[in-house]
Amino acid sequence: MGESGARAAGGHRATPHGPLSGLRRFPADRERAFQAERNAARSRSFVVTALAGLLMFDLYVLVDVLVFPQVALVSAIARWAVVTPLTLLALLLRHRRLARRPASRVDGPLVAASALLQVGALAAVARGAPEEVGDAYFLGAQVLVLFGVVLLRSDVRHAGLLAVTMLAAFAAAGAVQPGDDPALAVATLLTVAVSGGFGVSMAAGLEAGERAAFLARAREAGLVAEQARLIEALATANAGLAEAARRDGLTGVLNRRGLDEHLASLADGRAHAVMLDVDRFKAYNDALGHERGDECLRRVAAALQAQLRPGDVLARYGGEEFTVLLQGAGTGEAAGELAERLRAAVQGLGLVHPAGPGGPGVVTVSAGVAAGGPVATLLGRADEALYAAKAAGRNRVRCAPAV
């Protein structure tokens, strides 16, 4: 996927493969996101499994009553009055901690402390029992190792913490048990160590899989986001190209194509058109040159645009000719009044025209107005009115006959 793909995955740099390569922590921000996601995914199962285990731990007092009646009372007190309320309190504190800090790594220490508490409680019960009962009784506590590892599942560091804690707890409990058989104590510790090692190995495999899946999701999310960004950029570019294709490169107003598209959207009877032509523009160009001619057209277009209402459309029809389309402008008289304002605005620019009919003058426009009627004939009627204005002496407005 390359360097960009690594960045999309949150800056997790590729490292050599090895037995523990899948367990390397991510950079700080992504590690917090991973921990928060993992906590959220396993939180419900963690609580349910913990409560189920606590229930079995408490119900085991029935076995004490039936098999080891000598320790039943002490066992009930240790289970129901000590371990159970403290474990429930720990689960409540866990809930509040994760609500404040979703990425908190609270489960390992909680499970290790809870397991240590249970081993201590069972050791206390076994210590108060007859020797022949105590040895057999305490051996059953080894199941706590496997239960704790299953509860933690995919956190290899916390599984390691639990294994070490349990090994220390069993060693300490065995040391204070009166009359323990040394061979039995060693066997117990070996069983705990093997169970803990198995749990750590299982947790390592699960965590490596979870981290790989998290990275894959991050890469996929990065690719999806990049794809969405590219699609949006492409759509923006296409929209810009489409708009550019509708605009006149010199004046910035609509071109002939844009005018035709807008004209197609107008309704018969409610559309009006004003056709304007810069008077004697060829003579202006010949006298001053094309650069001054282009500047003249830009100034004229800006003056016309400044007179339009919202919704009116100005287009460069071709050469020095401009068209204004109006929709819902009212009567033909209102369209004629707008055309007169447009004519006056251009004359008001005071652009010197050195080649007027009677000597130097200013740049002017002639205008033809077509109001209402079929849209298909709108521009043709406005153009006829424009030629009538030019024929009448230029720098004036003429309106086409009503349809």
**Considering 320, 337, 340, 384, which one is annotated as catalytic?**
320
Q: What is the three-state SS of the chain?
A: CHHHHHHHCCCCCCCCCCCCHHHCCCCHHHHHHHHHHHHHHHHHHHHHHHHHHHHHHHHCHHHHHHHCHHHHHHHHHHHHHHHHHHHHHHHHHHHHHHHHCCCCCCHHHHHHHHHHHHHHHHHHHHHCCCHHHHHHHHHHHHHHHHHHHHHHCCCHHHHHHHHHHHHHHHHHHHHHCCCCCHHHHHHHHHHHHHHHHHHHHHHHHHHHHHHHHHHHHHHHHHHHHHHHHHHHHHHHHHHHHHHHHCECCCCCCECHHHHHHHHHCCCCCCEEEEEEEECCHHHHHHHHCHHHHHHHHHHHHHHHHHCCCCCCEEEEEECCEEEEEEECCCCHHHHHHHHHHHHHHHHHCCCEECCCECECEECCEEEEEEECCCHHHHHHHHHHHHHHHHHCCCCCEEECCCC
* 207 annotated active-site: no
Q: Which positions are catalytic?
A: 320
